[in-house]
Chains A and B, each alone.
Chain A
Amino acid sequence: MATNALEGAKVLEFAEFVSGPFCAKLLADLGAEVIKVERPLVGDSARRKGPFPQDIPHSERSGLFLYLNTNKKGISLDVGTALGKRIFLKLVQWADILIEDHLPQEMEEMGLTYGALREVNPRLVMTSITPYGQTGPYANYRAYNLNTFHAGGEGYTTPSGSVDVDREPLKAGGYLADYDCGFSAGVATLAARLAQVTMGIGQHVDVSKQEAMMAIQRVELSNYPNDGQYSTRGMRTGPIGGLLPCKDGYVMVTAAENHQWLALMDFLGNPEWSQAQHWKDEMYRSRHAAEIQPKLEEAIRQYTKEEIYHGAQAKGCPIGIVYDAEDIFNSTQLRAREFFCEVEHPEVGRLKYPTVPYIFSKTPAEIKSPAPLLGQHNEAVLCDLLGYSRQDLVKMRQAGIV
């Protein structure tokens, strides 16, 4: 019996940076066989973004690239050459799934449209992850993570509850939008894979990054079409509490339900201001949040983040510490769940990598191999899998094709 959920699924990745590689990584960590195609010499652009050990840039030592490309085989191939294209098409024939992130016009120029690839492999699932999808006036517009976050509407309202609305709207930290799009594409890709397995059909999966970002804003975004209103950064949001400073950092307080509020008050020693009967009423509190908020803030300030977190949670109030990376590495909960696992890589050695957010009882995810060095599996793929000779490979190298 298969020990990996996606065992047997063959994936060709023709994508770079975050979204496409993350989508393929999600599949690879669950057992899919992924061959990643990178441009010769330069490789995936994530290789040139940090973090790097000791901040010394090196194309084989990017933390971003290493994280996003575990469990993959890597080849370097110039798909723009005639032979490169021929090899690529052989790989399309081999693959069940192609994950790519090129603008529609670029795929067209290379002669690699879904229509063309379906000729080569009728059962192919082709997932195209592009900034604005395959159709429409923006189809060939470019976007980076910053643009994608703002294109989906969440940027306009970030930071919410801002006191200085003249400042620019913000993206979330890191490459959140690009990661989000990778996950969304993963859902669609697995759906199409299931149809391939159960119905024997292939298809084209059109993932617009903008729409992937809008999707997770669906509640917020339905306000305008139905009520003619949209949110701005200036609006205060959330129930009483929110992001509050404490003695040694910040905590997130969401005492939304009555029992949670009472639990929080219990933790705070039932201060006098909270004891009037009307403050124990959820409806009253929600209408008069502004009055009681300062008192709550003052009370929270008296504690350290660990005191409030464990103390209030023990009473039943959902409070979280604003964790930084170090806190996450030190979390006893994450350690108990083995959220990090050690991976050995020839260039950076042994490091702890974050794994996956789900634990499967029968087919747990596993990091079996580190991210590939650029072109590491050229021989395994071109010779062993596709049948080119070692001499062919030497010539391809000389011609700059691999």
Chain B
Amino acid sequence: MNRGVLEGVRIVDFTWAWAGPYGTLLLSMLGAEVIKIESSKRPDHTRVRSLKAGRMDTSSPDHSTIFADLNYNKLGITLNLSRPEAIKLAKRLIAVSDVVVENFRPGVLKRLGLGYEVVKKLKPDIIMLSSSALGGFGPQRNYTGYAPTFAALGGLTHITGYADGEPKTLMGSVDLRSATATAFAILAALNHRATTGEGQYIDLSSRESVAVLIGDVLMDYAMNGRSQGRMGNDDGISAPHNCYRCQGEDKWVSIAVTTEEEWQAFRRAIGDPEWAKDEKFADGFRRWQNRAELDRHVAEWTRERTHYEVTEILQAAGVAAIPSFNGEELYTGPHLKERSCWVQIEHPVIGRRTTLGPPWNLSATPGKVYRHAPLLGQHNDLVFGELLGLSDDEIEHLRKDGVMV
């Protein structure tokens, strides 16, 4: 057997930006048919904006590489949702679909006449997920945010950074974390539907999807009334446990020694130096207490070697070490090559693009990235014509009339 798990599952995707689209991209990798609804009146902002680079480029909706990387596999159609005819078409599409996903500000879709109460009448077993910054109800339901906002409000930013420095944020990856929660929730609902035939509505908060990733930090507050601060690479108990400079320009290796057995293995692997016999480093607690000095000794050893050499020596001894990889190394390194992580997809405007395949390997139902992100409105004929049965004339009329734009 070699087909996607979600083959036959159709998803109507109203999402834009990063968090929503990556969630549906994951589901498309598993075989779902994702139909992305956009409009030239309101194109997905990643078609024109790079939040990370703080840039925008409106010369074409089809040459954004960020959009390309977050929307593989999907079909793209255009509907101007401010027009009643467009809402009618969206309803027809939903009636033949399994899942609806959206990340408008809470309440917007309802005002457009596409709220869950309406949608479930069109398709009683529909699964609908709304993803928003802070959730669909509550006093701050209308507050908005981007990835760094979720990281800040979710408590992650406060605990990220050097121990002696300011808080630091992660960027777009935070959206993709929320997207992972989105895909998980939809799959849970699909499992429930498979066993009971019942659909449902899911209200997902991106900020909460960050907060659950620092559960132990929240437990510390629950237990001790303490708000943990920043610790750099430290985990509060282990040493060596840091990134150490290696030979070359801005090359670093991460080393984590957490048990006595690993410390002994580490010591032997680096040639049992005199300093390692010092009382100061005699047990785990003293190593951690004296970690600044310990780190200096370790760095003296790593500096003489490449981060690959350090990794090889320490891993052979059973010690956890790996380079702090840069973008080049993750593309050219031998391990990922052998695991065929990267795939190439031809895009009509951008050209050939190399991108990451699915993040997991399912032996019987492998996921895949197989089609370039849709050009704006690329699949109008396919979806409205073949799927919904509109004639060419009708489509042409709706296009000219500003409905299908």
* B211/A362 in contact, CB under 8 A: no
Is A357 in contact with chain B by the CB < 8 A criterion?
yes
Within 8 Å by CB of A201, from B30, B167, B220, B364, lies B364
Contacts of A362 in B (CB 8 A): 192, 198-200
Which chain A residues border B238 with CB–CB below 8 Å? 144
Q: Chain A: interface secondary structure? A: mixed
Docked complex Cα distance between A127 and B157 (Å): 31
A195–B198 CA distance with the chains assembled, in angstroms: 18
Stretch among A87-95, A295-303, A324-332, A382-390 lining the B interface: A324-332
Q: Is A398 an interface residue (CB 8 A)?
A: no
On whether the beta carbons of A325 and B138 are closer than 8 Å, the reply is no
User: Whole-angstrom distance from the CB of B76 to the nearest CB of chain A?
Assistant: 18
The chain B residue with its CB closest to the CB of A173 is B159
Q: How far is the CB of B25 from chain A (nearest CB, A)?
A: 9
Interface: B123 (CB within 8 A): no
By beta carbon, the residue of chain A nearest B17 is A256
Known contacts A197-B195, A237-B171; is-contact A218 B176 (Cβ 8 Å): yes
**B168, A186: Cβ atoms under 8 Å?**
no
Shortest B51–chain A CB gap in Å is 5
Mark interface residues in B214-251 (1 if CB within 8 Å of A CB, else 0).
Answer: 11111111111111111111011110011111000010
Q: For A363, what are the chain B residues with a Cβ–Cβ distance below 8 Å?
A: 188-189, 192, 200
Please tell me if the beta carbons of B209 and A194 are within 8 angstroms of each other in the complex: no
Q: In the complex, A49→B238 CA distance in Å?
A: 11
Which residues of chain B are near A53, meaning CB under 8 Å?
223-224
Q: Does A376 contact B (CB under 8 A)?
A: no
Contact with B along A107-143 (1 / 0, CB 8 A): 0000000100000000000000001111111100111
Q: From residue A310, how far is it (CB to closest CB) to chain B in Å?
A: 8
- Chain A residues with CB under 8 Å of B60's CB are none
Give every chain A residue within 8 A of B111 (Cβ-Cβ). none
Q: A5-B189, A215-B356 in contact; A320/B148 too (CB < 8 A)?
A: yes
In the assembled complex, the CB of A371 is this many whole angstroms from the nearest CB of chain B, namely 11
Asked if B144 is at the interface of the complex by the 8 Å CB criterion, the answer is yes
Considering the chains assembled together, what is the distance between the CA atoms of A8 and B196 in angstroms? 11
Indicate if the CB atoms of A150 and B324 lie closer than 8 Å: yes
Residues 348-391 of chain A, each 1 if its beta carbon lies under 8 Å from chain B, else 0: 10011111111111110000000000000000000000000000
Interface size class of B (residues with CB under 8 A): 35 or more
Label chain B's interface by main secondary structure: mixed
Q: Specify which chain A residues have a CB less than 8 angstroms from the CB of B226 in the assembled complex.
A: 51, 325
In the complex, the chain B residue whose C-beta lies closest to that of A174 is B214
Given A170-B160, A176-B156, A313-B140, are A151 and B364 neighbors across the interface (CB < 8 Å)?
A: no
- A307 and B95 CA atoms in complex are apart in Å by 45
Which among A72-80, A226-234, A270-278 touches the partner chain?
A226-234
Q: Are B135 and A337 in contact (CB under 8 A)?
A: yes
Contact B201 A150 (CB under 8 A): no
Judge whether A142 and B315 touch: CB under 8 Å: yes
Q: Is the CB of A173 within 8 A of B214?
A: yes
- Nearest A residue to B325, CB-CB: A153
A176 to B361 alpha-carbon distance, docked (Å): 22
B355 close to chain A: CB less than 8 A: yes
Instruction: Indicate if B204 sits at the interface (CB-CB under 8 A).
Output: yes
Specify which chain A residues have a CB less than 8 angstroms from the CB of B204 in the assembled complex.
357-359
Within 8 Å CB of A203, what residues of B? Answer: 362-365
Min Cβ gap A4→B in Å is: 8
Query: How far is A216 from B176 in the complex, measured between Cα atoms in Å?
Result: 5
Of B269-277, B327-335, B377-385, which stretch is located at the interface? B327-335
In the assembled complex, which residues on chain A have CB atoms less than 8 Å from the CB atom of B221? 325-326, 328-329
Judge whether A206 and B361 touch: CB under 8 Å.
yes
- Residues of chain B lying within 8 A (CB to CB) of residue A14: none
CB distance from A170 to the nearest CB of B (A): 6
Decide yes or no whether A268 CB sits under 8 A from chain B: no
A328: contacting residue among B155, B176, B230, CB under 8 A: B155
Which residue from chain B places its CB closest to the CB of A309 in the assembled complex?
B143
Contact of A195 among B5, B139, B168, B205 (CB under 8 A): B5
Enumerate 5 A-B pairs (CB-CB under 8 Å) in ascending A order: A66-B219, A67-B216, A155-B254, A188-B359, A326-B225
